[in-house]
A and B are shown apart, each in its own frame.
Chain A
Amino acid sequence: METTLAGHAMETLPHVTWLGVLIKAIIILAVISAIAGFGTFIERKVLAFMQRRLGPMHVGPYGLLQLAADGIKLFTKEDIIPQNANKFIFMIAPIITAATAFIALAAVPVFPDFTIPSWIPLLGGTFVPSIAADLNIGILFVLGMMAAGLYGPLLAGMSQANKWGIIGAARTAVQFLSYEVVTGLSILAPIMLVGSLSFVDFNDYQSGGIGSWLIWQQPVAFVLFLIAGFAETNRTPFDLLEHEAEVVSGYATEYSGMRWGMFFIGEYANMITVSIIAAVVFLGGYSVEGIGWLTIILKVAFFFFLMLWVRASWPHIRPDQLMWLCWKVLMPIAVINIVITGIVMMV
């Protein structure tokens, strides 16, 4: 079975060249940063609608060009480095956040694969794969990269010689220690079912329509992963790192201009990554034929909207409540879920 599948793949899929991967990387970088920027606009609009406001309206039609105005502002603003900060770490911390967010996207299937038409000079005939790096341990790599991304807020908060930053960094560590266990354990049960860490295998496992989606077999794991995903992306019920009402801006207090912007590009790229993982692992992912590429966009859009929706609706929790929730509630549930999944698989 496996050999025939592999042979089938070898016959049909064109050879992936370094040029194709490079083009794919550039496409991901350009499109995801554009979407991440656009996400801030969508967030402001959705939050405004939920509070019966209009949101940004004046720059361009329906405020669409607000994004450009904000971008110009971010790029041209003075980049202030505080006097007593550890300058080197202060300067690279936002790069860690943004870079890890995009590196994580390297192993995630974004957009269907295609071949550049042969009439285009130089690049014609190049096959651009769906995944820039089709690792057989994709999920592990993505989760690891997103976990490494937490070094950004941690180092930023510790390097900036600001007490709010220190508190933000401490909260980063607290949050990281709490949710990362739940993320790994919650996604372990689907991994056991599928028997692979590759996103493509997950997608193929659920290719039999809505009934074969893993959310029906693993509803508990889905909810746990969603909760942990909110913590992973610092979204509202768990936005301890930068909650304005408590710690001014947390780890981002002293940042300005493009370095501040990089944190948020990273955060929004992470939101997209978590949405894609949730869509691929639990909601059937994409299908190659027909308008399958549209379904994954809709799924990702739903998760993105859910994050904004939750931000508009729910209050955020205290750090001790986060630790309590993760260690005393979510982790036992995840372990029980794994044990039950294992028993069901063995029986």
Chain B
Amino acid sequence: MGLEQFKNRNVGTQNYTKLDLGETPANGFEQFKQVAKRTFKGELFVGLWVTLREMINALFKGQMHTVKYPFEKMPISPRYRAIHDMLRLLESGHYRCIGCGLCEKICISNCITMDTRYDENQRKEVTEYTINFGRCIFCGYCAEVCPELAIVHGPRYETASEQRASFSLFEDMLTPIDQLNLQQEYDGFGAVSPNADANIKKTPLAY
């Protein structure tokens, strides 16, 4: 297919649907008729009614659109990608992060820095974990790649702060241990789908 059809700028030959714009008045009497028709058509009063209807809707039917922002907030989508949260295991209260480093690897703006070591039980322990929010583009890849749903995007979109370090340490993002019962499961990128149980299949062992 070539570009010929796009190069055809001849409007008249194509298959357009013309709007019904009426006849252009040809002489003085038709112009007068048009003016008289438009004058008495009442379109202006339709306009008046539209604004009055909106005023009535807003004042008496609770359809005011204003959200008084600092005092009221709109609900945000669970898939909204704001400042990251680090979740804990509900059973033990231990953080979910297993120190695999996938988020650090996938981060396209190289803003995640983590360091791990083996603790006395030979488990991976996160010794250092920071996200440089000056670089983070909130793409969501870290949450998507995380195998443990440990790093997720939280709902905290008001990110004004005196220091940008205020958000970026592991402890700042981790669910406080005393608010573990309030921890919300994540519905966004990489989360388990609602019908995950139905999708489970036996692992084919007969390779």
Contacts and interface: CB of A to CB of B under 8 A. Distances in A.
Main SS of the interface on chain A? helix
A50, A54, A310, A329: most-surrounded residue (chain B CB, <10 A):
A50
Contacts of B68: 54, 57
A312 interface: yes
A57 B67 CA distance: 12
B48 interface: yes
Given A52-B64, A53-B65, A54-B64, A314 B44 contact: yes
A50 B55 contact: yes
A54 B55 CA distance: 11
B178 to A, nearest CB: 36
B46 to A, nearest CB: 9
A50 B58 CA distance: 8
A329 B32 CA distance: 10
B109 interface: no
B193 interface: no
Contacts of B54: 49-52
A234 B59 CA distance: 28
A30 to B, nearest CB: 31
Contact of B57 (A52, A312, A314, A329): A52
B15 interface: no
B1 to A, nearest CB: 44
Interface residues of B: mostly helix, strand, loop or mixed? helix
A313 interface: yes
A50 B51 contact: yes
Contacts of A49: 54-55, 58-59
Contacts of A260: none
A176 interface: no
Contacts of A313: 44, 47-48, 50-51
Contact of B52 (A52, A53, A309, A314): A309
Contacts of A310: 48
A49 B55 CA distance: 5
Contacts of B48: 309-310, 313-314
B65 A52 contact: yes
Nearest to A58: B68
Interface size class of B (residues with CB under 8 A): 10 to 19
B45 to A, nearest CB: 9
Contacts of B51: 50, 309, 312-313
Given A313-B47, A314-B47, A329-B35, A50 B65 contact: no
Nearest to B49: A313
Nearest to B64: A52
B65 to A, nearest CB: 5
A313 B46 CA distance: 9
Contacts of A53: 58, 64-66
Interface in B32-74: 35, 39, 44, 47-48, 50-52, 54-55, 57-59, 63-66, 68
A51 B57 CA distance: 10
Nearest to B66: A54
Contacts of B64: 52-54
Nearest to A53: B66
A312 B47 CA distance: 9
Q: Which of B44, B66, B68 has the most CB of A within 10 A?
A: B66
Contacts of B65: 52-53
Nearest to A306: B48
A57 B66 CA distance: 11
Given A53-B64, A53-B65, 9 more contacts: A46-B55, A49-B59, A50-B58, A51-B54, A57-B68, A309-B52, A310-B48, A314-B47, A329-B35
29 contacts: A49-B54, A49-B58, A49-B59, A50-B51, A50-B52, A50-B54, A50-B55, A51-B54, A52-B54, A52-B57, A52-B58, A52-B64, A52-B65, A53-B58, A53-B64, A53-B66, A54-B64, A54-B68, A309-B51, A309-B52, A310-B48, A312-B51, A313-B47, A313-B48, A313-B51, A314-B44, A314-B47, A329-B35, A329-B39
Interface of A: 46, 49-54, 57, 309-310, 312-314, 329
Query: Which 4 pairs, one residue from A and one from B, show the smallest C-beta to C-beta distance?
Result: A52-B58, A54-B66, A50-B51, A313-B47
